[in-house]
Amino acid sequence: MTEPVPPAALLTHDATLDTDIVVIGAGPVGMAFALALADTPWRIALLDRQPSGAWAGDPRALALSHGTRQLLGRLGAWREQAGTPIHTIHVSQQGGFGRTLIDTADLALPALGHVMRYRDLAAALAAAIAQRQPALQWLHGCETLAIDAGDARVTVRRGAETLRIAARLVVHAEGAPAAATEAHVFDYRQHAVLAEVRPRPGHGHRAWERFTPDGPLALLPLGENYSVVFTVPAERSATLCALDDASFLAALRARFGRRLDFSACGPRSAWPLALRLRRTRVAPREAWIGNAAQTLHPVSGQGFNLGLRDAWELAERLAALPPGSDPGEAAPLAAWARARNADRLGSAAFTDGIVRLFSNDLAPLRAARGLGLLALDLAPPLRHFVARRMIWGARAWP
């Protein structure tokens, strides 16, 4: 593997690329991981099967915790103007008593978090990566043909050419695993229907999490709009998506009573929801981060925040290795996987527990939930813990 490496844009024939770390998947987690290593001596190749900018049509808006904002800032990928701050979060249940309000005063922070479109987040990370090229090799439109993991060799096809990449570590950041054999999968049989709606009057930087018998319903302030994540049983999502704007807004109003009103609505899209937890996070010369390692229900907005912590902590461990070390060495990878367990399993249990506890209409559970929300509202230490859990992950524990 000593042939000179042509710049990514000039590969015109079957070629080889010799590198240290190959990252499969240039979603936000893969891009953040590559960026976090940009100032180290490691040579990094980041590849994605999509062309650059394919995220432009993604309708998701992500709630980014304060911790995520700080990490993105350190990566040079925080865009203040693209994020809408959250000052308060109102949590309640439909058809039952109890509510809790979390606000910035609980944590003495300027904002509990920010809401940003997936596409703006991806564009900010991509712009930061563009400034680091050629230290980071970014290959778009690459279909992975084979991974010879023990040797960390990856063969990809791009158009008519075949590229053989020799590395010492393969990091998987290609999103939710397709093969059920590699992951514990629980299908929630729910879909998240996404839309943007205009609140009347303005949102005042308040986010809403409303638990309904159908599933959780979140409103996240985004610019002048709310980004809606409307969870419903899978068999009802097509009907909800097909409603005209007035009927969709009426369905939303019906979930909130007279608390909220809306004046306009954008297009809808539906996303099937499942919990996928990869059984192993490391193998010889391989590691899995972000959604490739765990895909969570979107309730309480944990997925990307957790994936970024995966990426950051793995990059930190690799960067701390003595000069000349092998980045695919088993011991540091295993130590990273062990250290990430509490955050990963805690976040999965937190989101899964909320969905199971709240997505039903059983009277005794409704009463217990109401008491829980009331207790949360009346007991600041408990409320602070929940807020810290959402912001810092496992580090929320004292």
Ligand X SMILES: Cc1cc2nc3c(=O)[nH]c(=O)nc-3n(C[C@H](O)[C@H](O)[C@H](O)COP(=O)(O)OP(=O)(O)OC[C@H]3O[C@@H](n4cnc5c(N)ncnc54)[C@H](O)[C@@H]3O)c2cc1C
Would you tell me which residues interact with ligand X (CB under 6 A)? 24-30, 47-50, 60, 62-63, 144, 173-175, 192, 194, 229, 271, 290-292, 298, 301-305, 307
* Residues in Cβ contact with 345 at an 8 Å cutoff, skipping those fewer than 6 apart: none
Task: Choose between 132 and 158: whose C-beta lies nearer to ligand X.
Answer: 158
Name the residue among 390, 57, 110, 86 with its Cα closest to residue 226: 86
Cβ 302 to ligand X shortest distance, Å: 6
Cβ 375 to ligand X shortest distance, Å: 25
Task: Choose between 98 and 307: whose C-beta lies nearer to ligand X.
Answer: 307
Which residues are bridge partners to 238 per DSSP?
none
Cβ 263 to ligand X shortest distance, Å: 23
Residue 199 CA to residue 44 CA, distance in Å, equals 44
Cβ 48 to ligand X shortest distance, Å: 4
Task: Choose between 40 and 291: whose C-beta lies nearer to ligand X.
Answer: 291
Task: Choose between 19 and 144: whose C-beta lies nearer to ligand X.
Answer: 144
By CB atoms closer than 10 A (0-12, 13-18, 19+), residue 136 is buried
Task: Choose between 98 and 310: whose C-beta lies nearer to ligand X.
Answer: 310
Task: Choose between 303 and 327: whose C-beta lies nearer to ligand X.
Answer: 303
Query: Pairing state of beta strands 225-233 and 215-222?
Result: antiparallel
Backbone conformation region of residue 19, classed left if phi is above 0, alpha if psi is from -120 to 50, else beta:
beta
Cβ 289 to ligand X shortest distance, Å: 7
Cβ 371 to ligand X shortest distance, Å: 27
- Nearest residue to ligand X, using CB? 27
Cβ 49 to ligand X shortest distance, Å: 4
Task: Choose between 98 and 207: whose C-beta lies nearer to ligand X.
Answer: 207
Residue 258 CA to residue 241 CA, distance in Å, equals 23
Our separate counts of H helices and E strands in the chain read: 9, 22
Cβ 326 to ligand X shortest distance, Å: 24
Give the H/E segment covering residue 325: none
In this structure, which long-range contacts are made by residues 104-111, counting pairs with CB atoms below 8 Å and at least 24 apart in sequence?
106/380, 106/383, 106/384, 106/387, 107/66, 107/384, 107/387, 107/388, 107/391, 109/66, 109/391, 110/85, 111/66, 111/85, 111/86, 111/87, 111/205
Task: Choose between 162 and 321: whose C-beta lies nearer to ligand X.
Answer: 162
For every residue of 153-165, DSSP letters joined together read: EEEEEETTEEEEE
